[in-house]
Every structure is written in structure tokens, then in C-alpha cells.
Structure 1
Amino acid sequence: MMDWRNLLVSPNTPILHTLEIIDKNARQIALVADENDRLLGTVTDGDIRRGLLKGKALQDPISMIMNSFPTVASPYETRENILALMKIKKIHQIPIVDEEGRIIHVEVLNELLRPKRKDNWVVLMAGGLGTRLHPLTHDCPKPLLKVGNKPLLETILQSFIDQGFHRFYISVKYKAEMIREYFGDGSKWGISIRYLQEQDSLGTAGALSLLPEIPAEPFFVMNGDLLTKVNFEQLLDFHKAYQAQATMCVREYDHQVPYGVVRLDKHRLTSIEEKPTQRFFVNAGIYVLSPDVLDTIPHNQYFDMPSLFDNLMKTNLETIAFPIREYWLDIGRIADYERANIEFAEVFG
């Protein structure tokens, strides 16, 4: 993070030198202060342009064009309040000052909007054979099939990165070397990627037994063949709020019976409902698990997520459902893959 002292100028600093300071720093602002770091004013590129249009010279002191009554905030203001103030005032920078007007820090809109870095692990399941997508997966593992202009798994990865997550494990088996070669150690994205190598198919939960250590916080598990706009931070908060051991994302699924449904009482007909729609919640393939859950997973054996949740429910551990309202698509069949490529640009830009 840039030291705000690099933004300081005195009231007598020439406009030209102040402009050079603004151009050099990413925050696009200079702070005019006295010898005790008390804020006297602020200067942006726009202030300088307006001053020059009014006839000021580049050698004039910056005090002649500075904003002498800048918007400031106290160090006790919340991030949300500062963002709201920026929106109301239509500004991108706010100096933070103490009770005596001394500069403590500078908040910048882009930095405030940047997602907070989160240490929760993300485990992506990418070891499946993708048999239902043959012949597309004969020579390419399903997670590397291109949807839009990049592999499916990269879109999943980027969705987590955009929300501040940076510690990833990818479970691999089928054509694992291709996935390892493409994603490497994650440095291309500024993240960490490690791999869980399945020798035999271990299922959606069994691969978790290969984790080299127990995480300190709840972690995500997600199938590597999904496209979604789920807010993962909200999902994590939901899991924590209910103090759950395991959270399963669920999606509402409608099924219309193509016939008139007849209900009987023995041989008597009691009602006829024409082509009724039945609604269910289905497993969406995205989970948050607390670290203790790993102790219940058999080591290096096939074990799927439904079995894990069944076991947890039988022992009365807190298992909850998080309904997904956002875009979600399971790419399990050729028709799903074709639909994903049609919808990708609109949904993911």
C-alpha cells in the first residue's frame, strides 16, 4: 500500500511539481499540508486544469488552486459510510484526519471496492471422465473445455478470485497433466494452486481425504463443471451465521408431468390434474464445510457428497441448505455445453 506521505506538498509547492506528484501516484491526488501534517487542502488533476483555464501559471503556488474545503472522514468511519460519502460527493478519494486535522490515511474508491482477501480454501473437483460429453472429452478433460473464450474451470477460478479468494486445491485424475500444465501453481492469477491427485476415483467427497492438512476455517468444495454467479462471500456468511458443519447449495427445479395426473381412492377416481408442475430442490454441487467434517471422511476411498451429508444428518450435526437464485448451469450433457456457450457472453460479459 502506498505511503500517503508521498502525496504531501506544502502550500508553496509550484503547480508543476504538484502535477508531477499526482501523475506518479496511483491515487491521483496530492495533499496540501503544513509542517505538522495538518490538512490544508487537496489537489486533483481536475483542480489543476481548472486553474490553468483561469490563467494560473505552472510556477504559481499550489495554494492558489487547491480545494481548501475538501471532504474528509474520521478514522472511526466505517467502510460503508466512506463509500456512501464518496457516492454522494461524486469523489474518488477521501483523506482520513484525526480530531486535530492531521492526516492519517487516504481512502481511494478503487481500493475500497477491491474485495477483501480471504484465506478460506477452495477445493475444485476436476477429476471426472466427462463421459456424457463424449466425443468432446476424448482428448480434453471437461474442465478445460472452452466456454466462451476460456476453459470452464478458469471461469470458476476467476469467479472466486474476483471475490477475494486466493488459496485453491484442484482434485485431478483424468488427463490430470493437461490441467496441471494449464493452471500451474496459480501465479499467473496471483493465487496459490495445489493439486490432489486421485489414483482411483474417489467421488466428490473422498478426494478431500487427500488434503495435506486440516484448514483453519470453513472451506468451499465445488464441482468443476458448473457455471454460476453465486455470491460466495454471502454463502460463507450464511454458513457461519447458522454455525453449520456443512452447507449445501440447492437449486429449485421444476418438472412438468406431460400427462393429466389421476388420483384414486381404490377404484374410485378422486381428481384429475392436467400436466401439473412439480417443484423440487436439487443439489447444486457447491458446498461449504467446516474443518471438523474432514474427520468423518474415509481416507482414500470412494465417498460422495450425498453420503457425507447423510452421515452428518444421522449424527445430528448442523447441515443446512443455501438456495441459489443466481445464474447456475450444470454442464453435464452436450446440450448443456451448447447452451453455456450461447449464454456465456450475456451472463459473464
Structure 2
Amino acid sequence: MKDWNHVAVSPYTTILQTMEVIDRSSLQFSVVTDEEGRLLGTVTDGDIRRGLLNGLPLSTTINLVMNQKPTYAYAYEYQVYKCKLLEVKGVQQLPIVDQDKKIQHILFSKEETHIEPKDNMVILMAGGLGTRLKPLTDNLPKPMLRVGTKPILETIIEGFKQHGFTNFAFSVNYKKELIKSYFQNGEHLGVSISYIDEHERLGTAGALSLLPTRPNKPFIVMNGDLLTKINYNQLLEFHNDTCSDATMCVREYEYQIPYGVIQTENHRLQSIEEKPMHRSFVNAGIYVLNPDVLNYVPHKTFFDMPELFKIAMEQNHNVSAFPLREYWMDIGQVHDYDKANQDFLSIFQN
């Protein structure tokens, strides 16, 4: 890439501003330079997510998040060496600099617009009763509710297809015949769909025990009532890059305590904080699992995903959290459904 300036930021650019640069370029990458164009560092989507997990606010300057020792090559070095460096270092982008470390161009390991097909399985949990959405779910399973112009499940499939995922399995129970009739084998949507029949409700992980064949590589599990703009390719790369056995997507949840909170030492009042805001990461209902983790799922037993993660941690597996910064909506109640319909045109049709 000769024209690299549109992915360049200064070290004093905020995390939020850098996110906008990264998303706008679709390269999931930015270079940090001084005023003379000298390379100071690089920033990837993963760098930003790790910063958010560490509690950094979006107003933080990017120099606190960037990789201060990025891999780069000099312009005078042979092209074959540069390409080999990309491969050996396992990076997707390689800044090429002159002897003063001024960026000349950026070498990419693959075409920017190429979407690599993936055969990793995606399992969508679509068997819930949708009790909190009654009466909307009296005659329809929740994943078949229309948001915008199509069922929630169809929008989910389209999101995965944008990132090369086409191999799906639906876990179904409540009014499953409506789901099967609409989606069939997925051919009309350009994907492959199989079905896991839950004859009794098995929770958000129990149905994994019914898989006819165990996946041979990491697979994604997602609740079938979510709308999100997450980049599933970034999620899978994060899981692989961190050598994780299980990865849980998390999102920041903010809430305010409606009272003055006090701190004491014995009988003495130490401080008063009036109506403080608290921030926590919560489960976002999207997961990546290595096949071996399935060993902990009991057969045909009600079993939820948080319990699976607890066991994996107790067994000293590498368990990671992937913070979402994209649009995310859990359609659990009627007001969530109304909000999703309001958001649909601007979020999913632009």
C-alpha cells in the first residue's frame, strides 16, 4: 500500500478516534507516526480490545495502547525477505521504512478485500421459549421474530457470511418446525445448515452433547436472539492468537448506585461518594470453543455455558475474554425488540 496516510494516527489520538480510523479503512490496523511520518508504533483491533479489558476509557491516547516495538522492514531490503518476515512473525501488515524510520509504504500479507472462506462450524442456540417476549412468541420461536425485514436468525447468518463463515448448525426445540421450514438446508442463503434436535431443553451448552460429529477445529457458539455487528473473523483470530481453549465475548455494563456510598474504618466515616457509576464486563452470549472443551459437557443434561467456562478454568485451560466494542443487542424483552427494530435500518442496512 503506497497511500498509507489514511491509516496513520498521532500518538495523541484517542482510542475512540483510532477505532474510527481502523473501522473506516477495513484493514483492522493503524500506524502511529510523529509529525515527520516516522514510525512510532502500530495498533491492531486486538491491541484496542486488550486496552478496553484493562479498563482504559475511550478517551485514552493511543500511545498507551500501541505496540511500541512493531515489526518493520527497511525499503532497501529484498522483497523476498520482507515477505518471509510477514510469515515468520505472523503479522498481517509490515510497515516499510527508510533509514530515518519514515514510512514509505505498508506491505500486507493478503489482499485487503479478500474474504477467506472458513469451514469452522457456527452453532446457533435457537431452542429457547422466549417467555419474556410473550405474546410475540406465542406462535413464533424468538429467533424467527422479524427485526426490520427478516428473522433475527437470518440477519445473524448474513453477519457470519460477511466474514466467510458458511457452516451452521441450529439447536432447536420450541416450534422448531417453523425454523426448519424457513431455513431448510440453507442452500437458498448460500450456506449449509444442519439441525440439533433438543427433545427437552438443555440450556445454552447442553445441546453441544448432541453434536453427531465433534468439530475438528475451533467453533463458534452464539445465542440465536442476538443482533450484533461483531467482526467474527477478528474473534476467531483473537482466540487463535491467544492460544485459548475457550473465549467468551464480553461487553461493558454500566450502572449507577442511587445512593451515597460510604467507606468506613471501624466506627469512623472515611469517605462519601454520591451515586457512583460502576462498570463491569458481562457475558455477551457469543463463544469460541476448542473441540476438547466438549469433554466437559454432560450428555443430554441441562447445562449452561457459564458453567462450562467455570469447569474449563478449574481444569486450568486457557480461558479468555474478548471485549465487544461493536453494536450488540440481546432481544430478551419487548422493549429490546422495539429498540432493535428502530436500530435496524441505520445499523444493518447501511
Equivalent residues in 2 for 1:115-130 (5 A)? Answer: 115-130=115-130
Task: Tell me the residue number matched to 1:215.
Answer: 215
TM-score normalised by the chain length of structure 1: 0.68
Deviations 1:57-95 (CA, angstroms, capped at 9, x unpaired): xxxxxxxxxxxxxxxxx9x989x89xxxxxxxxxxxxxx
- How much has 1:240 moved relative to structure 2? 0.5
SS for the counterpart of 1:113 is: coil
Task: Tell me the residue number matched to 1:132.
Answer: 132
Deviations 1:185-218 (CA, angstroms, capped at 9, x unpaired): 0001121100000011111111001111111110
| Identity between Structure 1 and Structure 2 (%) | 56
Distance 1:147 1:268 in 2: 55
TM-score normalised by the chain length of structure 2: 0.67
User: What are the ranges of 5 or more consecutive residues in structure 2 without an aligned counterpart?
Assistant: 1-79, 87-91, 94-110
RMSD: 1.9
Q: Does 1:206 align with 2:202?
A: no
Deviations 1:234-266 (CA, angstroms, capped at 9, x unpaired): 100010011111000000110111222223334
Task: Tell me the residue number matched to 2:323.
Answer: 323
Q: Does 1:156 align with 2:156?
A: yes
- Runs of 4 or more, structure 1, over 4 Å off, are none
Deviations 1:90-119 (CA, angstroms, capped at 9, x unpaired): xxxxxxxxxxxxxxxxxxx9xx73521100
SS for the counterpart of 2:332 is: coil
Equivalent residues in 2 for 1:48-197 (5 A)? Answer: 113-197=113-197
Task: Tell me the residue number matched to 2:304.
Answer: 304
Paired residues in the alignment total 245
Distance 2:262 2:341 in 1: 40
Structure 1, 301-310 or 259-268: larger mean CA deviation: 259-268
Task: Tell me the residue number matched to 1:40.
Answer: none
- How much has 1:335 moved relative to structure 2? 0.8
SS for the counterpart of 1:200 is: coil
- How much has 1:328 moved relative to structure 2? 0.7
Task: Tell me the residue number matched to 1:259.
Answer: 259
Deviations 1:136-188 (CA, angstroms, capped at 9, x unpaired): 00111100101011111110011001111111000000000000001110001
Deviations 1:264-312 (CA, angstroms, capped at 9, x unpaired): 3344322211110000000000000001111111111111001000000
SS for the counterpart of 1:135 is: coil
Which letter maps to 1:167? Answer: N
Which letter maps to 1:141? Answer: P
Task: Tell me the residue number matched to 2:99.
Answer: none
Distance 2:142 2:266 in 1: 50
Distance 2:347 2:167 in 1: 25
Query: Which entry has the higher C-alpha Rg, 1 or 2?
Result: 1
User: What are the ranges of 5 or more consecutive residues in structure 1 without an aligned counterpart?
Assistant: 1-73, 82-108
Distance 1:147 1:269 in 2: 52
Task: Tell me the residue number matched to 2:42.
Answer: none
